[in-house]
Chain A
Amino acid sequence: MKTLFQDKAKGYILTCITILMAIVTDIAYAVIYSSTKYISWEGFCIIIAGVVLSIILYALKLHRFAPTVMMISVFVALLFHVYYIYFFISSVMTGIQFSGFPISFFVNFILFGITLILSIICVFLPTEK
């Protein structure tokens, strides 16, 4: 592993981490919401597509485009997620029922947030030395 990332630029390494985080986020998303109507399978697939495309770009040594691909895929997936879950959020926030957001709701959004922030940082970091 050490040799794999030897002499690699920070952007290169962080993009790899972002790809891993995206996979974790997607799995967590599916685990949390797959049994509900709040799951966006479009969003789920877009992240997978972004990850696959990024890996292909790495394989083709076009990894300089991978951060952009990851950022767009994670962001668009997040928008799909928001679109599918907004009704639930509004239900909780208007407070007709005496309840709040479950922990899984926050875990999911935190994972999405971290992945998106990482992907944005990657866009600004050089992926080649």
Chain B
Amino acid sequence: MKGKIVRKTLAVVSLLMSGVLYTATVITEVNAKNISSVFGAKTYDVVNENFDDDATYYKSEYDSVADLMKDGRETATEVLQEGAVLLKNNNNALPLAGGSKVSLVGVTSYDPVYGGTGSGSISAEDAIDFSKSLESAGLEVNPTLKKAYTSEEWAQYKRGSDSNFGNTVLKINEAPWDVVDKAAGDSLVQYGDAAIFTVGRVGGEGYDLNNKENDGVDNGDGLGNDYLGLNANELSVLEGLKAKKASGEIKKIVVLINYAGMLEGDFLKDDAIDAAMWVGAMGVGGNAVGKLLTGEATPSGRLPDTMWMNNAANPVNVNYGAFIYDNAGDYNVPSDMGTGMYPEVTLASYVVYQEGMYLGYRYTKTRYEDKVLGTENVGDFAYNDVVAYPFGYGLSYADFELSNTSVEKTGDREYTVSVDVKNTSDKYSGKCSVPVYVSKPYGDYAKTNGIQVPSVELVNFEKTKELAPGESQTLKVVLDEKYFASYDANNAKGYVLMDGDYYVAVGGNAHEAVNNVLAAKQANGVAVNVSEMVGKGDSSRVAKFALTFDKDKYAESDAVSMLDGESHQKVTNLFDFADINKYEGAGDNHVDYYSRDNWNAISMDMQNGHATVEMTEQMAKDIYAQVPEMTGQYNNAAGVPKEYQQPIPEDDGEYPTYGADNDLKLIDMRYDENGNEISFFDPKWDEFMDQLTWDETMAILGNAFHVTEPIESIAKPGTKDENGPNGFGGWAFTNGYYTGRGYMYRTENQAGHVNEDGTYTAEADQNGYKTMTGFPANGIVAATFNKELANMAGQIIGEDGLWAGCSGLYGLGMNIHRSPYLGRTCEYYSECGMLTGIMGAAETKGIESKGVHVYNKHCALNDQENTRHGVSTWVNEQALREIYLRGFELPITDGGAFNTMASFARFGVQAGAGCKALAEDFLRGECGMRGIIVTDAYGDMNGSQNIDPYFEMVYGIYYGGSDVPDGSQPMSEGHYEKFKKGYSQMAWQMRNAAKRVCYQTAWSNAMNGIDENSEIEKIVPTWQKILKNIAKVVYVIFIISTLFTLIDVISDEKKRAQNK
């Protein structure tokens, strides 16, 4: 009996284990590349790796990872120090005196926001919280409140979310005042030098902050429960603190805003609040907060976005979110939400950027100027009720005086601004940034041709060094006249300089700039209704130039085209299909974009005021043009309707050569025998590419899930490409700096600390397991208005990649803060395309200098998370070029950005990853981008998720819209196989994409250690070997126990038969 139970147990256990292991083997086999990528498992080896200096093509400036980490933390601190924005400081409430006893109030005070969620998350393991920061700056922090806020009993009071399936519910969960007051007791009086109330919010990938159920306050403005306003409990805390202040129990109220973007700013206008500072999402730079509050550092940040009094005054929000074509069903376009991870409408959703050019400060300042100028149809616009703090706003402890302002034309298209900046403070040192704005003429040409001209637009800026009291510095800011030009999509179809007066306004925030321009206009005889002005202007800080009409000067791109390596592309309309008023399949649709001629036409109805578009048959056809052929396999059971099927055409052209023996390795493709860089267009590249087999080509193009594939025959190493926008971070770095074949690996290898299987000995530097520097949100980087500092941050990110063996960064985030409700605000820089582009270029340059290629994302129009998957974005070309694409353009032209990540969104009807006009004509043609375009998460697009698939990689390759998927098997399995014969055009497109992958690898730090003797050898990762071996043993046990069971059963049955 006992033996029978043992036999049964063995049979059952081995059956269960066999089943589990078989399933695990099947699943892991098809996802091996993904899994290896996620765990950083080695999938290839470099044979004959060269550890000498001469094979280290991208060198680090650090001797140890400890030094790099230290510099990383210090740079992050410096970024926050210069990027935090002092919003108010009544009666010099700040800085606080050393030794002040302060009370930290609010749940976020003890649970700071360091970054965003999703792919924008950072590692916060070394982050400094508010308490530590303040204490290290010499302040004494109320221990009673700290104990209460961090106690188990107060666990309910913690910012968070209810993680419902695809429908995140954001929770502020502030502790109400009566609870705080009771817990604080007398301690508030004892620590009453200041009450510091921290208000925190978090955002991230996959959700926006509007239209969400949460515990925000519904103030009846049509925006529902508003996550970006103070909720009832927060208001109760504020009221409680005010009462304490009124009774003399506390001396000051200081508000810290710990969110990557802008809250509604109306509450800050309360005089009882003495000081307020926006600290963004802090990254690991939290030490800066204490320094800023105590005056050890002087704030010098400027807001990268407009802070609205109330977001209902921001007309963009009317057209922000998810809208569905009502009549999509008429054309067999499904509008089901899907039920998977991302329940979204992917084929029938749209959004109209109806505001056109008038986004953020471009709207508020222009309408304000028009009001002051008495323009007709300006409508009701009370500036003080709309804007709490304008773009570019920021106070300092020091006082700065700008004088001797001059603007001279110093070249054919160059203007140089010179201004003396003097620190007139007698106490505080500090830096001062000087933004320069241009005010273009809104004359007859603009009006006739539908060109919109915002009153002021940022064109460049510089920042002083740290100026001691009384110290001066002359700043030179160089302006490119190109940015005085406006894009004329209707007549010239290119950039035009318009006839008229151009005003260059030097220094200050956008509101000061427009006031200064108004003062200058008045001085030039323009009628200005001064009584309508909010604040005064200073014409001495404005220079005026008269330019004549010119449509030819900027008709060609500055960059050399990467389509042929020698020409400059004609800049002309590329995106008519994204403008509903120009798209040939628009039918009767028409949208009135915002115009200076008629502000009254703007709807502020948050519920029903959005622009409406109907689907047409042509739209349906164009949308289906990039949908997977196998659509019917997924949620959209009907598949692509027959009338809309547009398979890639067959042809009988000649195929590229495959598998040639030309004896070229990737290392040979960097320099020729004379030491000159080998151009992408050099015929040697053709010889090199001829060596690739068809299967190798498919392998390169089939798997790019945070990697590029290693190829043995050409000694191409694999690359490791990882998130994210605020520095390398997230789940991919469980091994920290030991992730790849970087400096960390090379250093330890040389020290003999690497085992044969690639693991590290106990003697290896334990710092290597630490995670990389998490920088403050990019809005804070932008707010520094300091290009050198952005470049330094970029260099640290580059060094992090160099040490960790990462040669690609899925970042930076170059989309636009179109609305404050954007979920991924932390990843992007600003509402201003120019500020985004300039700072992004500086940071990109730093990253690229270390052989780390950026994949700036998400190009473009991923300015919302709601229905980001496949949303048709209707936008006019002027806004597209001057705002939304500028953030991608400047990092390529000025920062050397190699790569780009495509957007989930559509340009009109064309998928971002399948848009030839964007990829070929704009990025490679006009901007001269040298590298590759990766899709965004491919599994979200091709139907792997339970939503209607809306894009397939083969179309990206065929149209030249993208080169590789951010995905791998099985998502791209078999997608290319059918093109092996009879599709030469497709084959050549595949060849070109694979070539670009090889080219960008050749010029990355993945080549460190590889010389002419090195070989690449693919290996089965250790985890896969272990799994297979365990499975084999269990299968044997199962077979043996099954045999015994059968024998047992047969024997039992025999006995049973005999007993009968």
Contact = CB atoms under 8 A, between A and B. Distances in A.
Interface of A: 35-38, 71-72, 75-76, 79, 82-83, 86-88, 91-92, 94-102, 105, 120, 123-124
Contacts of A38: 340, 946
Most A Cβ at <10 Å: residue of B119, B161, B204, B341: B341
B944 interface: yes
B8 A100 contact: no
Contacts of B93: none
B687 to A, nearest CB: 41
Contact of B340 (A37, A101, A124): A37
A98 B168 contact: yes
B731 A99 contact: no
Contacts of B341: 88, 91-92, 97, 99
Nearest to B121: A95
9 contacts: A36-B339, A36-B635, A36-B946, A75-B19, A83-B27, A95-B731, A120-B12, A123-B8, A124-B8
B27 A98 contact: no
A54 to B, nearest CB: 17
B567 interface: no
B334 to A, nearest CB: 13
A79 B12 contact: no
Which label, helix, strand, loop or mixed, suits the secondary structure of the A interface? Answer: helix
A108 B355 CA distance: 47
A94 B706 CA distance: 14
Q: Give 8 nearest A-B pairs by CB, closest first.
A: A100-B163, A97-B206, A102-B165, A91-B341, A79-B23, A36-B339, A37-B946, A98-B168
B907 interface: no
Given A75-B19, A87-B944, A97 B205 contact: yes
A98 B206 contact: yes
Contacts of B166: 97, 99
B723 to A, nearest CB: 9
A98 B339 contact: no
A102 B163 CA distance: 8
B12 A71 contact: yes
A101 B731 CA distance: 19
Given A79-B20, A94-B38, A100 B165 contact: yes
Interface string B135-177: 0000000000000000000000000010111111000000000
B945 interface: yes
B935 to A, nearest CB: 14
B16 interface: yes
Interface residues of B, number: 40
B634 interface: yes
Contacts of B167: 99
Contacts of A92: 341
B937 interface: yes
A98 B12 contact: no
A71 B977 CA distance: 41
Interface of B: 5, 8-9, 12, 15-16, 19-20, 22-23, 26-27, 38, 117-119, 161, 163-168, 204-207, 339-342, 634-635, 731, 937, 939, 943-946
B731 A94 contact: yes
B198 to A, nearest CB: 21
B213 to A, nearest CB: 14
Nearest to A72: B15
A70 B164 CA distance: 34
Nearest to B1049: A65
A98 B168 CA distance: 7
A97 B204 CA distance: 8
A88 B342 CA distance: 10
A98 B635 contact: no
A98 B944 contact: no
Nearest to B336: A35
Contact of B23 (A37, A82, A99, A105): A82
Contacts of B5: 124
B358 to A, nearest CB: 31
B340 A36 contact: yes
A42 B255 CA distance: 59
A127 B173 CA distance: 56
Contacts of A35: 339
Nearest to A101: B165
Contacts of B164: 99-100, 102
Given A37-B340, A88-B341, A95-B118, A75 B205 contact: no
B23 A83 contact: yes
Contacts of B117: 95, 98
Nearest to A78: B19
Nearest to B170: A98
B967 to A, nearest CB: 11
A65 to B, nearest CB: 9
Contacts of B943: 37
Contacts of A99: 163-168, 206, 341
Given A38-B340, A94-B731, 20 more contacts: A36-B339, A37-B340, A38-B946, A72-B15, A75-B16, A83-B26, A87-B939, A91-B939, A96-B118, A97-B168, A98-B163, A98-B205, A98-B206, A99-B164, A100-B165, A101-B165, A105-B165, A120-B12, A124-B5, A124-B8
Given A96-B119, A98-B206, A86 B27 contact: yes
B985 to A, nearest CB: 33
A73 B943 CA distance: 30
A93 to B, nearest CB: 9
Contact of B204 (A88, A98, A101, A102): A98
Contacts of A98: 117-118, 161, 163, 168, 204-207
A36 B340 CA distance: 7
Contacts of B26: 83
B200 to A, nearest CB: 16
Nearest to B26: A83
A35 B339 CA distance: 8
A128 B12 CA distance: 20
A41 to B, nearest CB: 14
Most B Cβ at <10 Å: residue of A98, A99, A100: A98
Given A36-B340, A86-B27, A97-B206, A123 B12 contact: yes
Contact of B635 (A37, A72, A95): A37
Contacts of A105: 165
Nearest to B4: A124
Most B Cβ at <10 Å: residue of A72, A76, A87: A87
Contacts of A124: 5, 8-9
A6 to B, nearest CB: 23
A36 B166 CA distance: 14
A129 B952 CA distance: 62
A91 B166 CA distance: 12
Nearest to A32: B339
Contact of A97 (B12, B23, B118): B118
B968 to A, nearest CB: 12
A105 B341 CA distance: 12
Most B Cβ at <10 Å: residue of A72, A86, A95: A95
Given A88-B341, A95-B731, A96-B118, A75 B15 contact: yes
A40 to B, nearest CB: 12
A105 B946 CA distance: 15
Contact of A96 (B19, B20, B205, B946): B205
Contacts of B20: 79
A67 to B, nearest CB: 10
A79 B25 CA distance: 12
